[in-house]
Amino acid sequence: IPLLRRALAMSKRPLLLFASPWTAPAWMKSNRDVRGKGTLKGKAGDKYHKTWANYFIKFLDEYAKRNVTFWAVTAQNEPLAGLFTPPQAPTIAFTAAQQRDFIAQDLGPALARSPHRTRLLMLDDQRIHLPHWAKVVLGNATAARYVAGLAVHWYLDAIVPPGCSLEATYKLFPDHFLLYTEACTGFFMFR
């Protein structure tokens, strides 16, 4: 929080912050560990999913008490990486259908009821998952009304041309923006 405050104070224009979760607490996950290939226990609409959605609101509440607000949150950082990550990485695995249902039944309504003006971004994973992921989530009218845009990572961009992923997604869902949210150098060790 002190670093965020310093950055906000130094900026000549407002900074738009977004947050993206890596994992839920161990007691909420199928593998009972913050690390590894676990999912949220149960299914959308149940106590685990509602509680996880409320964690988002509590996070926003606590930062707001310290005068730090978030422009957006993502439903999950790299939800499909949860199926492939090393066992020590903190993550939650979601399929597109699971993320759709979590957004439609739990996270979307929780954000809408909250006092926060925070937007919701979906996917937050590789563009290789587009446009399929968008079709599943945004193809559902209930989920789509809660989602402002799609968060995209760049690591596998060389595999899928932008016309097949980004452009195709934009043509299907022009009212939802596409935003690159994660990239780094040194990801590929051989480069």
Q: Return per-residue pLDDT of the chain as tens, 191 residues.
A: 999 999 999 999 999 999 999 999 999 999 999 998 899 999 999 999 999 999 999 999 999 999 999 999 999 999 988 777 677 889 999 999 999 999 999 999 999 999 999 999 999 999 999 999 999 999 999 999 999 999 999 888 888 899 999 999 999 999 999 999 998 876 666 55
167 part of the active site: no
Q: Where are the domains of the chain?
A: 1-182
H or E stretch at 180: strand 177-182
78 part of the active site: yes
Helices (H) and strands (E) in the chain, counts: 7, 5
The Cα–Cα gap between 72 and 62 comes to 15
Q: For domain 1-182, is the CATH number 3.20.20.80?
A: yes
Instruction: Find the catalytic residue in 21, 77, 78, 168.
Output: 78
Determine if the pTM surpasses 0.85. yes
Tell me if 25 sits within 8 A of 76, measured CB to CB.
no
Instruction: Find the catalytic residue in 33, 157, 167, 182.
Output: 182
